[in-house]
Structure 1
């Protein structure tokens, strides 16, 4: 609570300048000293400000150490800043009246008051206009359009989270984009009111009950719950995707379905369908037309979240294939080929981008290490060692708080020694 209050005060000083809270305090002081007629109004505003700030700081449960959550919390401080500005105006008026009583030329203080107000407002506009002007900001719009356009015809999309939920629903319902798709909110599907209402609009989506719950039952009031597995079964004639992520409270689907990467989203695929890496790479490569630079936006903004999701989508298939190759039940030949596909995808995307998420360095270096183990003749081991050294070193230099950093640096040293041994062996052979 104390931490959020301190952040709120700091935010207030940044947004409305220290003059505003100073004038607001003056308003309270003059109100008490002069026993003015508007004392009740000023007191009401002060109580509102104090009550709102204390209550919000007490109830806010977001970790403001994370930039995005801090940005979310900051939006709720606009209300308190408005009250501070109102009190600041009263404080300035009270100060002007107090000074004018002692002056014979009252016009001078009148003009000074107005000049001060105009200058302060103009200063705020000049400082904040560029930040507030979002007329050319289409990042979230482009994010939503890219995702919607990537889905096959007549698919069902199970939405999760504010960013995909709001952006995709707006484009779909308000702008009429991709009317063939059916958008269903995962979180809302757990409420009693949602399914009966949405079912009236999504006639081609079958809801096998009134509410989503992993435990299927019929409640005394007649409400029937259904599991995710049941939902997938009754809609198996349509392709179903989750975007972004899946509620982990219902594991009933895991024995019958798998989730395969589809850009920022994932697709439900029956477990009896074998994974064809080449086909899936072809399907999921270049799903999106995304041109924003990595790290371009403030980390507290939704634009940064959208940008991050789009960048991570570029390596999602590579990560999935690598994770699949790590499975113990696969044959050595299959593992070898999957590692190769993952390595190839990582290499292609990293060579195209100079600035990218630092985790790509680590993941690609690990992919190189796995390829070294495979001892394939079609890939130069010297190149693999060089890339592993380069990208492990790059990751270690940037991710100083990674608890595996020492192990990574040790691996770099080992690869350097291996590189020397390889050079010596090549010289000996010549």
Structure 2
């Protein structure tokens, strides 16, 4: 009796110690990942939808479909709490994203620890959990979205929680546990619609595996719990929509409008990622899956994770948990890549698609942790900690944005030098989200009026408080569409151009049913990264001053870092936008240069310096030729400028198919001797 009692006490003590060790390991993951995220976190703006959520939190407005009410509510609650009031709003939101992302890693640690058999040695169990959780947290896309107020940080946390609850319900399938899981599922779905790709297969598999749960009373109780998590935040979003605040998307004040928003019918369906941009017909399901596999194995993970995941799957294939994980993973990637409509051939849109890979990749990391625990010798288990530390060190420089101000500088340059009371027409996330955040949250240039050309096409846009949100702006119809009751760009400009300066940032949207036939009456004069609109017969009298103002409007951006500013990043998009705008301005200077104004020649020469100095972008031969001529015109008695002319001609000649170093050098020296003293006649 005494021996049995002592054995029971020892087991209880070991169990208690094990729980404390597990909790300490989980807290360690949370602390380590939070430290990494805070150390590399942006203090300013990021690209994509992140600034839309920030703006909606500041202005209490509705984001794009399906509205993401839980995340929007959390951002707004943080702002109103004033807990971090000494920070800029976007900095506060970035901190929240970092905390939530670290929580996702901690939850994933618990998933792996719970998925392993009870007889797994403690050191192996928590080494495998660290490998999975921290390895996932240091994935490039996960790390990137931990540093910005995007909805995917909270989506990752909910997906990890749903995985944990799946194991928890399978461990002891009771109606109470199922109701808790259903409530969490409702919350997850009120945050992001993609959570349904976790919820649907898991719910079916659990109910199939545990027939005792398949009862009417249990299902009703679970449905009520699900609704309790899902409905309240969408009801709140409906009230927000009723306030008709600026830049709010949709009309959610009716059941039909709310349902339309939830189902993303404005985009064509819940998993259509864009309303007007369809993938190339050549991008079938197979090509998308191959692209996903390549990017996941060699970029998002390391080449070692995929084999470990396969090992974990094979060695535990008879386990119910493994089957649920594998089926959930397969359902997610097949369903998502079947319906997502953004092309993966474009780096920018491929980056948008990659955000949805984090959730299935989470399952791969869980399976890899299981494979590590089952296949790697016990003595090598601590190597997991070393491996993830080395992974973090290797990726640190590419994901360290704490001093990166590219998007802040770009966004501020859009607004700060505008003429007073300018109307700014914006199209595209880069322009609209950055400018509207600064305008709404930080009160940068409150005198200007920002109008999204995309939002202006919807019928609900002008049904709200247009006079309050856009004072002084005349809308000559119900919406920006050439349909009955609509208006064209020509009619809109005619109604407003004589009242106030108008600047357009981003291209005019080329949607169907639009009439641009009257646009020829207007001239789009380059104005930094945007264009100022004039009547074609009413251009500025002093073109040199106009060109000078345009050059001054360009943002001064940090030097490009190829490690951070990769293809598909919003920072690279900002650099490319500025580069293309400089080329457009340089092209418009051409006819005026023939007049021989020395101030304009010098201004154009400095602009050419900027264009040719951006060596990471391709400059066509025509622009090089014009730059070389400019340097020649400017080079009278100025040998450094003649040397620039010479070097530009050499670069130009390198475009020739039969180019050799010797031939280019000979032609350049013969025709453009850098030390000659006669001016070159400008060639139009």
TM range (shorter): 0.7 to 0.9
Q: Shift of residue 350 of structure 1?
A: 3.8
Shift of 1:161: 1.2
**Total equivalences in the alignment:** 382
Aligned counterpart, 1:29: 314
Equivalent runs, 1:255-294 vs 2, <5 Å: 255-275=520-540, 276-293=542-559
Question: Are 2:262 and 1:5 equivalent residues in the alignment?
Answer: no
Q: Which residue pairs with 2:506 in the alignment?
A: 244
Preserved contact between residue 350 and residue 360 of structure 1 (Cα < 8 Å): no
CA distance 1:22–1:418, change in 2 (3 Å): closer
Superposition RMSD in Å: 4.1
Give the distance between the partners of 2:441 and 2:408, measured in 1 at CA.
12
**Partner Cα separation in structure 2 for residue 138 and residue 384 of structure 1:** 32
Q: Could you tell me whether the CA contact under 8 Å between 1:182 and 1:202 is conserved in 2? A: yes
Separation in 2, partners of 1:210, 1:411: 60
Residue in 1 that maps onto 2:369? 89
Residue 394 of structure 1: CA displacement? 0.8
For the 8 Å contact 1:361–1:392, the answer to whether it is kept is no
Q: SS of 1:337's equivalent?
A: coil
Q: 1:419 to 1:128 in 2, by over 3 A?
A: closer
Aligned partner of 1:160 in structure 2 is 427
- Looking at structure 2, the residues matched to 75 and 226 of structure 1 have their Cα atoms a distance apart, in angstroms, of 36
Asked whether the 8 Å contact 1:157–1:241 carries over to 2, the reply is: yes
Q: Which runs of 5+ in 2 are unaligned?
A: 1-283, 680-684
With structure 1 as the length reference, what TM-score do the two structures score?
A: 0.73
Q: Quote the offset at 1:160 in angstroms.
A: 1.2
**How many Å apart are 1:140 and its aligned residue?**
0.6
Conserved in 1, the CA contact under 8 Å of 2:528 and 2:555? no
Q: What secondary structure sits across from 1:225 in the alignment? A: coil
Counterpart of 1:302 in structure 2 is 570
Normalising to structure 2: TM-score of the pair? 0.48
Instruction: Give the drift of 1:385.
Output: 9.2
Contact 2:313 2:322 in 1 (8 A): yes
Task: State the 1:288 CA deviation.
Answer: 3.8
Q: Cα offset for 1:155? A: 0.9
Structure 1: stretches of 5+ with no match in the other structure? 100-108, 219-223, 326-333
Q: Deviation at 1:306?
A: 1.3
> Any conservation in 1 of the 2:424–2:448 contact (CA below 8 Å)?
yes
Matched ranges for 1:209-248 at <5 A: 209-213=477-481, 215=482, 217-218=483-484, 224-236=485-497, 237-248=499-510
Q: Is the 8 A contact 2:635 2:641 kept in 1?
A: no
Residues 251 and 412 (structure 1 numbering): CA distance in 2 closer, same or farther, change over 3 Å? farther
Quick one: higher RCO (CA 8 Å, sep 6+), 1 or 2?
2
Query: Is the CA contact 2:312–2:368 (under 8 Å) kept in the aligned structure 1?
Result: yes
Cα distance change of structure 1 residues 142 and 158 upon mapping to structure 2, 3 Å threshold? same
**Cα displacement (A) at 1:61:** 5.1
**Shift in Å, 1:121:** 3.5
CA contact (8 A) 1:241 1:266 kept: yes
Deviation digits for residues 129-175 of structure 1, max 9, x if unmatched?
Answer: 44333222221111101111121111111111121121111111122
8 Å CA contact 2:476, 2:491 repeated in 1: yes
5 Å matches for 1:333-352?
Answer: 336-337=594-595, 343-351=601-609
> Which position in structure 2 is the counterpart of 1:150?
417
Report what 2:281 is aligned to: none
CA shift in 2, pair 1:370/1:355, >3 Å: closer
Task: State the partner residue of 1:393.
Answer: 650
CA 1:385 to 1:415, structure 2 compared with 1: closer, same or farther past 3 Å? farther
- Matches of 2:392 and 2:593, distance apart in 1: 60
Between 139-148 and 63-72, the greater mean CA deviation after superposition: 63-72
Q: 1:192 to 1:48 in 2, by over 3 A?
A: farther
1:122 partnered with 2:384: no
